[in-house]
Structure 1
């Protein structure tokens, strides 16, 4: 975590009840190579404990990330969600995200 906490381009939002973590999300500011190199934000690790889903925790986490993105003059936000995660897709659409483009992901084998 030290690497992330020392980098102002990363923002990790954590939702807690007492000492219990019930949700996380992370925003990373990136620069677009096209045009004026304007920034955009990549969102990762949006996770809310099953027992706290549908209680506004995810909305609050995403709102916090969006505020970070706006503060950093981001033009847009992108995220990838697994193809079979229907409830997550419904959640993202309910807060204004659209699936008007396709996303791709490739995993690398870990080097030992």
Structure 2
């Protein structure tokens, strides 16, 4: 495999990230346009710690994930983190990119002294569950969501 680099996403990465969302099933008809996504990325950068990362192979975006690290009121203010929207392009799956991105996320969390890293996965994504199990994530509790429709 060629050299893998994981870095924070920049505006030029947006079209490839949007394509990743589409080919991985994360995206749908409500996806941002590239211009909207660039504007939204600028907003995310204003948060204390919400980052979008890309995994590059030979300068091509092969994967992406989002990481939010937050301060908590409980646990004496210890930080926790959430990983979202993990995607690896089908052409690059099975080459260790997802594993490298999760190692990267864990490093970011350790550097920020987080006490835990969480993520959720759709019940239908059995391969993803096996992947997260293989990384040492444990199944804990339940994930709940409520769809909120615009007014």
TM-score (norm 2): 0.67
Q: Greater Rg, structure 1 or structure 2?
A: 2
**Does residue 85 of structure 1 match 2:125?**
yes
Once residues 11 and 79 of structure 1 are traced to their aligned partners in structure 2, the CA distance between those partners, rounded to angstroms, is 15
Moved over 4 A (4+): none
Structure 2 residue runs of 5 or longer lacking an equivalent are 1-40
**Alignment-derived partner of residue 72 in structure 1:** 112
**Alignment-derived partner of residue 99 in structure 2:** 59
**Alignment-derived partner of residue 28 in structure 2:** none
**Does residue 7 of structure 1 match 2:51?**
no
Say how many residue pairs are matched.
111
Shift in Å, 1:49: 1.0
TM-score (norm 1): 0.88
**Alignment-derived partner of residue 38 in structure 1:** 78
**Does residue 105 of structure 1 match 2:145?**
yes
Once residues 106 and 51 of structure 1 are traced to their aligned partners in structure 2, the CA distance between those partners, rounded to angstroms, is 33
Once residues 77 and 119 of structure 2 are traced to their aligned partners in structure 1, the CA distance between those partners, rounded to angstroms, is 19
**Does residue 16 of structure 1 match 2:56?**
yes
CA contact (8 A) 1:22 1:48 kept: yes
- Secondary structure, aligned partner of 1:99: coil
Once residues 61 and 95 of structure 1 are traced to their aligned partners in structure 2, the CA distance between those partners, rounded to angstroms, is 11
Shift in Å, 1:31: 2.4
More helix by share: 2
Shift in Å, 1:19: 4.2
Once residues 8 and 50 of structure 1 are traced to their aligned partners in structure 2, the CA distance between those partners, rounded to angstroms, is 32
Deviations 1:49-96 (A, max 9, x none): 122111100011111111111111100001010011000000000001
